[in-house]
Structures are given as C-alpha cells and as structure tokens.
Amino acid sequence: MIFQGKQKIWSEYQKDIPEDHYFYVRSCIRQSFFPASEKTFLDIVKGELGKDFFETPHHTTCGGIAYHAEAVPQETMMTIIARQFALMTENGYENYVCSCITSFGLYTEVMEDWREFPELEAKIRENLWKATKREFKVPKYLAHASDIIYKFRNEIAERAKFRLVNHKTGAPLKVVEHIGCHYSKMFPSKGVGGAEYPYVLAGMIESWGGEVIDYPERRHCCGFGFRQYLVKANRGYSMSNTYKKFESMEPFEPDMIITNCPGCPYFLDRWQYVIAEQTGKTYGKDGYGIPVFTYEEVAGLVLGYDPWDLGLQTHQVAVEPLLDKMGVPYKPEEKYKGVGGKVIVPPEFPMNIKCC
C-alpha cells in the first residue's frame, strides 16, 4: 500500500499491539495512590475480555523513581529491570506490559541502549548472574497498560453503560488528556501517535463519546520532576508546573482530565487543592475543581462499575460533578465506607475546594 503525506507520517506512529498473553508488572506510585485502577485494569482485560495477563508476587519496583532521584546508579536500575525480564522469561511470556510510565520509559531506554551497546547488555547479564543466578530474554514486545486499553477501546465502547456525554443535553463532555512525559517524549515511535500527536488517550475519549480539548500547554509536564517533588524544599517547582497547565486549560472549561501516568493524576488533583487553599481559586464551577482520572477509572465508569469500587473517593477534588453529567448513579453515604459498609470516620473538608 502506498501512503501519501500525512497518512504516511501517521502510519509511522502506530503501534501493532499484540492481543493477548502478557506479563504484567505494577507501578509503585499507582499501587500507593490508585490501587483500584490496577485492579480495574485486570478486571477489564481478564474478566471482561478474557485475556491472559500474568502477575508474579516476586516482581518488584523497577527502581525508576530512585534512579531519577539519583539514589541508585544506572547499572542498578538496569539490573533490577533485567531481573524483571528474567521473571517474565521463567514464566514463559514474551510480551511485557507495565502499569507505570516511568518504567515504560526506562524499559524502552534500556532495550535501546542494549541494542546500541551490546557490551552494556553483557555487563548487566553478568551483574544479574552474580547477584541472583538468573538469566533472561529481552521482551519481544513492550506495552504500557494504556496501550492495551487503547487497543480494546472499541470493545469497551460496545459494552458501555455510560458515555462521555452529558446525559441531559446529549453534548459530548469536554476532556483534557494528559500524557506522561516518559510515554513518548524520549522515544516517539514507541507511543501511539508519537510525541507530537499522542493518540493513546484521545482515541479512548473519542471512542467513548467525549470531545478532546486542545489548549496551549497540553504537552507541558505535570511537574513531578522526581527530586523536585520528593524533597519538600523543591515542591514549588512541581506546583508551578501544574498551575501553568490549569491557567492554560481554564478558558476551555473542561469537564474532566484523563491521564495515563502514575504521578500526573495525583499532582493535577492535589495541587488544585493546594492552589485553592492558598489562593481561594478553583478551576471548576461553584467551588469545585476539575476532576482528574486515570484511564482505568474512566473505562470503569463507562463500563458501569461503582465509582467507589474504582477508588474515586481517594481523590481530593470531587468527582461528583462529572458523575452527575454522565448520569452515573452513586450513593454519597457509601463514599467513605470500608468493605461491607464498615464505618470509617470521613475526611475533613477543605476550606476552599469541594471534595464531595
């Protein structure tokens, strides 16, 4: 087939994502802040779609956050990753899927480095053998978990109980999509749509009925910055970047934000709270913020999962305005309860931004 012009360029940024049989590894940040999203991911791919996604309790951090905080050397990070690959190999898998964007960027970088510098791969193999007596094969295919939901976005749409549409007016909801920097900024060809036109989240939004908002700082970092957040003294950097994005998106009046990175939904949510508490400013209407979601949370809402099963009660910015627009039913009195309705004393209310 002969492609012309834009069609040819676009074709270079598509990923041929395998359908099935993945070795799944989790994200440190997402397990801590969005554990229900990882559960939802597995519920969708295994439960709804009947795919084979295998997880071993022996997998660990990839060491990525420590590496980007300079707390461990590059060789350490690479050898931990080699151990993860060994676990994949030992369990008979060749497709590798990770929940974390920092991991995805590092796995991509490590595999590229080893291809370019074979002596480096040999050194890491030697390190791993010395430390663990393990050997590994490099994955045949590397995916980020959002690639998988993107691939099955239309199957999810076919099962939709709710859509990204205002159920009263029929108008598509206005959605900001925020892609984690390490998804495709380093290796554009490894992400759906590349770095200029990443389509992994936009594809989900369009498939589920929403309208993607383009705004000036759409590709700006959320501001994690690793040490710029991990160290208390540096957090002004982190908040300033989020502030810049919200000031830029505000005139477009988004109904929601959807992200595919572990840290981004946390920062875009929590810094809205800090901005509101420090300045009184909120970016939604009537004292609400703009609710921020992981892609699994949005997929779960579309499929009709209970919002509190999805973990939406752990957001600081209230999600209820979005649930009301979509027409998703929910029980406010259940929001902060434990398993089986166990009573937990609910959180305090912030001064300036509504959290429910």
Partner 1 sequence: MGKLYDRLAQDYRVKEGLRACINCGTCSAICPAAEFYKYDPKTIMNIVQTRDDAQIEELLKGDQIWYCGECLSCVTRCPRKNAPGLVIMALRSMSIDMGYFIESEKGRQQLPLTRRMQNNILNYGYCVYPRTFHYKDHPEYGTVGKWINENMEAVYERLGAHLDQIGPGALRKIPQESLDELKAIFDVTGATHRMEVVEEASKKMAEKMGMTLEEYEQQAFDETSQEHLNL
Sort strands 256-259 and 211-212 into parallel, antiparallel or unpaired: unpaired
Using the rule CB under 8 A, which residue among 120, 138, 157, 160 binds partner 1? 120
Task: Name residues contacting partner 1, limited to 6-65 (CB under 8 A).
Answer: 26, 28-32, 35-36, 38-39, 55-61, 63-65
Task: Name residues contacting partner 1, limited to 267-296 (CB under 8 A).
Answer: 270-271, 273-274
Distance (Å, rounded) from C-alpha 116 to C-alpha 221? 28
Using the rule CB under 8 A, which residue among 74, 89, 166, 352 binds partner 1? 74
Q: Kindly give, in sequence order, each residue whose CB lies less than 8 Å from that of residue 243, ignoring residues fewer than 6 positions away.
A: 271, 275
| Least distance between partner 1 and beta carbon 170 (Å) | 33
The 8-class DSSP code of residue 74 comes to H
Q: Pick the closer one to partner 1 by CB: 223 or 254.
A: 223
Binding range to partner 1, per CB under 8 A, among 13-21, 156-164, 285-293, 347-355: 347-355
Task: Name residues contacting partner 1, limited to 324-343 (CB under 8 A).
Answer: 336-339, 342
Q: Pick the closer one to partner 1 by CB: 166 or 352.
A: 352
Using the rule CB under 8 A, which residue among 9, 122, 171, 231 binds partner 1? 231
Task: Name residues contacting partner 1, limited to 126-145 (CB under 8 A).
Answer: 127-128, 130-132
| Least distance between partner 1 and beta carbon 123 (Å) | 9
Q: Pick the closer one to partner 1 by CB: 230 or 323.
A: 230
Tokens of 219: 């590709």
- Other Cβ atoms within 10 Å of 197 Cβ, number: 13
Using the rule CB under 8 A, which residue among 8, 234, 304, 329 binds partner 1? 234
Q: Pick the closer one to partner 1 by CB: 60 or 154.
A: 60
The answer to whether residue 118 forms part of the interface with partner 1 (CB under 8 A) is: no
Sheet holding 22-25, edge to edge: 53-54, 22-25, 95-98, 141-144
Alpha helix (H) ranges present in the chain?
5-11, 28-33, 35-42, 64-68, 74-90, 101-116, 118-132, 145-151, 153-158, 181-184, 200-207, 227-230, 235-249, 263-279, 295-303, 320-326
Binding range to partner 1, per CB under 8 A, among 13-21, 137-145, 161-169, 182-190: 182-190
CB 91 within 8 A of CB 134: no
| Least distance between partner 1 and beta carbon 335 (Å) | 10
Using the rule CB under 8 A, which residue among 195, 200, 201, 204 binds partner 1? 195
- If you write DSSP's letter for every residue of 149-190 in order, what string do you get? HHHTHHHHHHT-SS-SB-TTT-PBPEEEEE--HHHHSS-GGG
Which of 260, 173, 279 is CA-nearest to residue 222? Answer: 260
CA 234 from chain centre, in angstroms, equals: 24
x/- map, 88-107, partner 1, by CB under 8 A: -----------------x--
Using the rule CB under 8 A, which residue among 235, 250, 323, 354 binds partner 1? 235
| Least distance between partner 1 and beta carbon 223 (Å) | 7
